[in-house]
Amino acid sequence: MTTTSQTASTSETTTHETTTITAGGVRLCYDSFGNPTHPPLLLIQGLGAHLLGWHHEFCAQLAETGFYIIRHDNRDIGRSQHYPAGGYALTDLARDSAELLTALGLDSAHIVGQSIGMIAQQIAIDHPAAVRSLTLIYTTAHLGHILTDEVDKRRDLPAARNRADAIERYLQNEAPCATPTYPHDEAWLRELGGLMYDRDHDPAAPERQLAAIYASPDRRRALTSIPGAVVELRSAREVQGHRGGKRKRRVRSFHQGMAMLRSA
């Protein structure tokens, strides 16, 4: 394992990012929160999103509950290795995350994935021994559930010409994700959009990740047999949890779901 370190600053905190080379030869950028002796929890970001999208305060709060938090840039995004020619699949993204754990000396972790966090689903299918539990946040196992019209609207937006444009495009991209119950924190999204632009601006990268999603097979059947505890966050009002093949039970919040995972 080869590692290099760098510092990234925001208006609220300074994080120490590290770059490592996985067994598959992929350079991944990550950072961590909490005590490395605590149960590890890997946070997997969404389409085109940098690790900073997992807000540092949120990561710190999770660490305070007793987890060792790891967040990383997926391949082709942020400070991880980019693939201008594309050609990779969701299985490759899943292998990257599993091999990141190995590079960190971890044989398994609690896995949390949002949006293209369908990577987390693929980890559970391809690398089940690496998954202590699985948390899925507005993600899908089947392409039929993707709102392609909404995706196409985002793809049709003109390319950003500068940092200010990039921030506005990011706000437009995120707008459909807001709900009356959970409106957007526009100040944070503006800051995040600028930070992502500063870290690495590769407007073609999300298209390459999207191609990997569209090329992925239906995972519904494979996911019915995954072992362990699973928490699903489907909407602001719907959170469900289950263990292995047992009947799902409703949990009241993400935090209650995390408590269930700690007992897994």
Task: Note the pLDDT of residue 85.
Answer: 97
Rounded Cα distance between 177 and 47, Å, is 13
Residue 63 structure tokens = 């660490």
Encoded amino acid at 141, one letter: A
Answer whether residue 46 shows pLDDT above 70. Answer: yes
Answer whether residue 240 shows pLDDT above 60. Answer: no
Tens-digit pLDDT profile for residues 138-186: 888 877 666 666 666 667 778 889 999 999 999 988 887 788 888 889 9
Task: Note the pLDDT of residue 247.
Answer: 41
Delimit the domains of the chain by residue range.
3-262
Nearest to residue 96, comparing CAs of 192, 82, 230? Answer: 82
**For a pLDDT cut of 90, what percent of the chain falls above it?**
58
Task: Note the pLDDT of residue 159.
Answer: 83
**For a pLDDT cut of 70, what percent of the chain falls above it?**
77
What is the pLDDT averaged over residues 250-259?
Answer: 48
For 3-262, CATH gives 3.40.50.1820
pTM of the model: 0.84
**Which stretches of the chain are assigned E, i.e. beta strand?**
3-9, 14-21, 27-33, 40-44, 68-72, 109-114, 131-137, 229-235, 238-243, 249-250
Cβ atoms of residues 213 and 91 within 8 Å: no
* Per-residue H/E/C for 226-256: CCCEEEEEEECCEEEEEECCCCCEECCCHHH
Task: Name the more confident of 130 and 172.
Answer: 130
Q: Supply the mean pLDDT for the chain.
A: 83
CA-based diameter of the chain, in Å?
Answer: 51
Nearest to residue 261, comparing CAs of 253, 71, 220? Answer: 253
Sheet holding 27-33, edge to edge: 3-9, 14-21, 27-33, 68-72, 40-44, 109-114, 131-137, 229-235, 238-243, 249-250
Answer whether residue 11 shows pLDDT above 50. Answer: no
What is the pLDDT averaged over residues 234-252?
Answer: 45
What is the pLDDT averaged over residues 212-224?
Answer: 88
Task: Note the pLDDT of residue 243.
Answer: 47
Report angle CA 191, 177, 66 to the nearest 5 degrees: 70
Q: How far apart are the first and last CA of the chain?
A: 30
